[in-house]
Amino acid sequence: MIKTLGSLALIGTFSFSMEFYAKLEPLNTYNIKSSVSGNITYVNKSIESKNILKDTVIKIDSIVNKIDLKQSVLKLKSLEDILAIENSTLESYKKISSKSKFDKDNQKIKILNIESSMSDLKTKIATLKDQIKKKTLIENDKYIYNIAVEIGDYVNPGTLLYTAMDLTKGKLEVYIPMDSAKNIKNKTIYIDGKKSNLKISKLYSVADSKHISSYKCEIIVTNPETFSKLTKIEFK
């Protein structure tokens, strides 16, 4: 058997058996970036390099947002009360024959202006609530690989905050020569010399941008015990 080494893969040339090497990596890695601006007020360094069920990772200062939200809610309540009064006034105008069309139209305009202000306030309140929510970052059932900020740092939208991984599934990626790819779909997959029940999750039909004469093949592994281990993969 002739084998060539390239990009973590040893490729057998016999059609009945092909073998490769790849590192088992988490299926999904998430680079969490800030969507708001502000100072970092809390960093949970104790969970770095750990798998957490549910925990707060980072908090961004939201004091001003919360004050603004409270005042905006109070202002909206006041406008709702004023609107009720102005609507009542308009209804009374309709019953008074001495009130001119000009008076009635001015009252309608006043009501429309109040309703417009209320609409703007509702949008502002929704935006503030969303900003406050996004300033406390909580993760569920994730591995916290790296926290990239410290307390006191000022972040802008797009700033990397931390990297999280889903360790419930892993993936093995190998690159199959184009002329051999069609022959592996129904073959049994052996991992480190042992027969497995694993199946090919994805086999791309467009050549890889780096491995220009190969198709990328992805194998999903559920609940793997370890990651980053060099794994031997055989198709027999």
- Which residues, including other chains, have CB under 8 Å from residue 142's CB and lie 6 or more apart? 30, 51, 52, 164, 165, 166, 167
| CB-CB contact of 124 with 116 (8 Å) | no
Per-residue pLDDT, 54 = 94
Which amino acid is it at 31? Answer: N
| CB-CB contact of 36 with 157 (8 Å) | yes
Sheet holding 189-191, edge to edge: 18-23, 230-235, 189-191, 194-195
What is the signed CA dihedral for 137, 142, 145, 147, rounded to 10 degrees?
10
In tens digits, the chain (236 residues) has pLDDT values of 333 333 344 343 344 568 899 999 999 999 999 999 999 999 999 999 999 999 999 999 999 999 999 999 999 999 999 999 999 999 999 888 888 999 999 999 999 999 999 999 999 999 999 999 999 999 999 999 999 999 999 999 999 999 999 999 999 999 999 888 888 888 899 999 999 999 999 999 888 778 788 999 999 999 888 898 899 999 98
Give the predicted TM-score (pTM) of the model: 0.77
Q: Which of 149, 146, 171 is CA-nearest to residue 158?
A: 149
Per-residue pLDDT, 17 = 67
- Which residues, including other chains, have CB under 8 Å from residue 31's CB and lie 6 or more apart? 160, 163
Per-residue pLDDT, 16 = 52
| CB-CB contact of 215 with 205 (8 Å) | yes
Per-residue pLDDT, 14 = 41
Per-residue pLDDT, 198 = 94
Cα gap 121→71, rounded to integer Å: 10
Query: Hey, is 228 helix, strand or coil?
Result: coil
Question: Whose structure tokens read 């949008």?
Answer: 123
Per-residue pLDDT, 11 = 40
Cα gap 217→60, rounded to integer Å: 41
Query: Hey, is 106 helix, strand or coil?
Result: helix
